């Protein structure tokens, strides 16, 4: 069993209350149709005339030309004595799809103190094909937790007056560099998200300047990214703008 399959049996979603919601079972049944269009149709029909529930797609990631990852959110109100009370039950649904076919799905609820997996599915054969396509495209095996992340802003000083502030992701990057977390930097370097790859190159460059020896695998990957035209959102002072990945990382020389 590969790492993706193992991880795919674990993760991501949250519930902010305790108790048993009434309508999540219908969402689970819709996932068992194994088609994205059927899942969305059933979920949308379920919520169309019911003010106690909401269903939205938060975002999607194009992993390769063939595969996409989707993140949905499902909210169900708690009803006590025929009155809606907060907090709502809130779920996040993560899907990996090959076209319209759902090849992996995860539905997890997370209470204030504990995360609990409600439903998960993966098509073993299709996931193996996905892993191969991912490695052929990005040079390494897929990392489950990266599939459902959004691109972030790259920069060290953003915003207006007073010298600006670091973007939100900077503290995560700084911790990885300060602790010399090479595994995390490599995970970013070989992922499908251009902004994470740029942060990884920046981190490896900082470590190289302090004596870290870049591996052949890392160097080859960086050389590939030097040719990338993927777009990265960059901030500098008051300005925010788009740059190609190659434009951003070419300033970091690994001789």
pLDDT digits (tens, 9 = 90+) for 210-235: 999 999 999 999 999 999 999 999 98
**Pairing between strand 231-236 and 239-244?**
antiparallel
Low-confidence ranges of the chain (pLDDT < 50): 4-20, 161-162
**8 A C-beta contact, residue 177 and residue 166:** no
Please report which residue ranges of 69-168 form alpha helices under DSSP H.
124-138
**8 A C-beta contact, residue 46 and residue 27:** yes
Q: What is the reported pLDDT for 200?
A: 97
Q: How far apart are CA 176 and CA 146, in angstroms?
A: 16
Q: How far apart are CA 63 and CA 102, in angstroms?
A: 14
pLDDT tens-digit readout, 134-175 = 999 999 988 888 999 999 999 877 765 445 677 889 999 999
Q: How far apart are CA 151 and CA 149, in angstroms?
A: 7
Q: What is the reported pLDDT for 199?
A: 96
> Cα 117 vs. chain centroid, distance in angstroms?
18
Domain ranges in the chain are 3-143, 170-249
Please give the structure tokens belonging to residue 221.
């990957």
Burial environment of residue 218 by CB neighbours within 10 A (0 to 12, 13 to 18, 19 or more) = buried
Q: What is the reported pLDDT for 94?
A: 94
Instruction: Say how many C-beta atoms besides its own lie within 10 A of residue 35's C-beta.
Output: 15
Question: Of all helices (H) and strands (E), which one includes residue 202?
Answer: helix 194-209
Q: What is the reported pLDDT for 21?
A: 58
pTM attached to this predicted model: 0.81
Q: What is the reported pLDDT for 166?
A: 74
Tell me the CA distances in angstroms from 162 to 53, 56, 82, 201, one per residue in order: 44, 38, 52, 28
- Sign of the alpha-carbon dihedral angle for 150, 151, 157, 158: negative
- Which candidate, 232, 214, 255, 209, places its Cα nearest to that of 247? 232
């Amino acid at each position: 069993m590969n790492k993706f399959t193992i991880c795919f049996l674990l993760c991501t979603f949250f519930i902010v209350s305790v108790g048993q919601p009434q309508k999540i079972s219908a969402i689970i049944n819709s996932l068992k149709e194994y088609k994205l269009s059927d899942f969305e149709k059933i979920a949308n029909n379920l919520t169309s005339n019911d003010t106690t529930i909401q269903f939205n797609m938060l975002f999607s990631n194009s992993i390769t030309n063939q595969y996409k990852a989707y993140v949905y959110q499902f909210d169900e109100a708690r009803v006590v004595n025929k009155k809606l009370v907060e907090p709502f039950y809130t779920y996040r649904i993560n899907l990996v799809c090959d076209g319209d076919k759902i090849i992996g799905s995860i539905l997890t609820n997370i209470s204030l103190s504990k995360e609990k997996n409600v439903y998960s599915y993966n098509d073993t054969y299709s996931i193996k094909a996905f892993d191969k396509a991912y490695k052929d495209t990005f040079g390494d095996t897929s990392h489950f937790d990266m599939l459902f992340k959004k691109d972030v802003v790259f920069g060290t000083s953003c915003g207006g007056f007073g010298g600006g502030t670091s973007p939100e992701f900077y503290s995560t990057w700084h911790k990885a560099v300060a602790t010399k977390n090479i595994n995390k930097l490599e995970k970013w370097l070989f992922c499908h998200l251009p902004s994470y790859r740029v942060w990884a190159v920046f981190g490896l460059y900082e470590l190289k300047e302090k004596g870290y020896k870049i591996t052949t695998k890392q160097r080859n990957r960086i050389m590939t990214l030097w040719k990338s035209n993927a777009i990265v959102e960059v901030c500098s002072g008051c300005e925010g703008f788009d740059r190609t990945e190659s434009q951003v990382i070419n300033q970091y020389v690994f001789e």
